[in-house]
Chain A
């Protein structure tokens, strides 16, 4: 929430750059796009990113950009609260942290103390890690896990880079999850049936109230259609399903709109999952967003995971499955279970 009387600096008005990556070609390319920003040299990205008592909410209005080199691991086993879609070796990678969108329910609000966007410029090191894993077994990798990589494509080019890398590694399948409207990307990268574009699909009311700066529903569906036309597998993620007082009506209308916009028979699969988040993260969300009806909902704590009450959760999931199964075969519907 911006104050009406005090204004914040423009996004990326301040760019913090680790000294060790100052000479990196990606750093130079990114910095060349921001002639009006202040560039501040730093020793380590955590000196800025991990400052105590930062305001995630205010930083969302004026995020800084941090360019760094990832010196630790950048590929991790998938979280149990995330869906693996039947893939055995499920990993995610973190070449960027945070995104330019502002979703009230985002787990990153709980995971990180800062809304500043970190770009690790040494993407090739992540590629090496993935190649090590590929030497042991096939890999299913979420590359847009704690960011929205498509939304950052102009800045990083990482969607193109991951797509190229995947094309050259037959045992690798990647998922690129997004709420972006961009279609131009599908012209730029080679089509590949192992590059899955996963669109988070939410009712208009949820997008308007809780997913600030993201693409509209129509834009997302249009982009998803475009991806399919260009030969990419597309996943629709009804995840998180968000409670609204008239949620049943909102989600019924949503599915109708999806059916009217997309040929569901060509969809790779769909995921359905009601909103859930670790109780530790939820504490931070509630503190950061005291006026959010989404975050302040009286969730139940199930073994450290905050969820809607069982009856509501089951009702929401069953409703979504029922609405979808007339158009999509059962084996293509994945429910979040953990």
Chain B
């Protein structure tokens, strides 16, 4: 599932439309949009670092971000010297001086984002009137999103995609909603390509049969420590390609399961271990 943070509706509009996202009509602190198949949820944070970090926290906690299979995407505009869409590998918070590094594991070159499309970005507290460093990009949300999300999200599952909307020297009045949407629309194919590409990643399989594990714990009258021991045996059985279910069936037919006491349960754990090794 993709968790997307955009600051402004104007930046998000092409994405909302292309993904056919629907606005959540329930009372939400942030405007929130869903895809029908629940593969995507997008939140509009509003401008600024605090707003963005709050929205990211809301998004990730409210909708159950899973760090082993979900992605956080921050898509938005920035000021920069060369128009285009950029993948961000370094985020500097201008106010605090802190620096954050998304983990650049995924090869997104097939989405039109080769290594050369990567840039470093500076999160600033207010709209800038000139580009202090023409090699860098400037915007107002990424560092807040990174800081909030890093509590939940591995650094390789945070993707920051920024498109240049202006050179940083233009009159802010000229940076209209229409302009932001138009520039976002230009980069939409790449963004959709990233979503489609990362969406292909295989989900990790469930390693143990939780229902069988719980019913076995109950049948063996296990203490908490013994449950941990049994759980480890379930993991080992799966990892070593052995069928724990048939071992348990065998023990049931030998009338060792269910156990009549904790002590008997402990003995059964030892038998399971012996049969696995």
Contacts and interface: CB of A to CB of B under 8 A. Distances in A.
A298 B202 contact: no
B273 interface: yes
A261 interface: no
Interface stretch (B30-38, B147-155, B172-180, B216-224): B147-155
A298 B154 CA distance: 28
A40 B115 CA distance: 12
A142 B139 CA distance: 48
A249 interface: no
A37 B89 CA distance: 13
Interface residues of B, number: 37
A47 B156 contact: no
Interface in A6-63: 6-10, 13-14, 16, 36-38, 40, 42-43, 47-48, 51-55, 58-59, 61-62
Contacts of A36: 115
Contacts of A10: 107
Contact of A290 (B198, B201, B239, B241): B239
A51 B147 CA distance: 11
Interface stretch (B7-15, B46-54, B229-237, B250-258): B229-237
B105 A62 contact: yes
Contact of A3 (B101, B201, B233): B201
Contacts of B240: 245, 293, 296
Contacts, number: 107
Contacts of A3: 200-202
Given A6-B200, A38-B115, A62-B105, A55 B154 contact: yes
A40 B105 contact: no
Contact of B107 (A9, A48, A52, A55): A9
A4 B197 CA distance: 12
Contacts of B201: 3, 5-6
B209 interface: no
Contact of A40 (B67, B120, B200): B120
B118 interface: yes
A291 interface: yes
Nearest to B236: A296
A285 to B, nearest CB: 12
Contacts of B120: 40
Interface string B101-123: 10111110000000100101000
Contacts of A76: none
A308 to B, nearest CB: 10
A297 interface: yes
A9 B104 contact: yes
Contact of A51 (B101, B198, B200): B101
A147 interface: no
A266 B107 CA distance: 49
Given A6-B201, A8-B106, A47-B99, A291 B150 contact: no
A89 to B, nearest CB: 39
A59 B235 CA distance: 23
A103 to B, nearest CB: 16
Interface of B: 67, 89-90, 99, 101, 103-107, 115, 118, 120, 150, 153-156, 197-198, 200-202, 204, 207, 229, 232-233, 235-236, 238-241, 273, 276-277
- Considering the complex of A and B, which 4 residue pairs feature the smallest CB-CB distances, nearest first? A5-B200, A293-B240, A293-B239, A296-B239
21 contacts: A3-B200, A3-B202, A6-B197, A9-B106, A9-B115, A10-B107, A38-B104, A42-B101, A47-B101, A48-B101, A52-B155, A54-B103, A55-B103, A58-B105, A59-B105, A62-B105, A64-B103, A286-B235, A293-B240, A298-B232, A298-B236
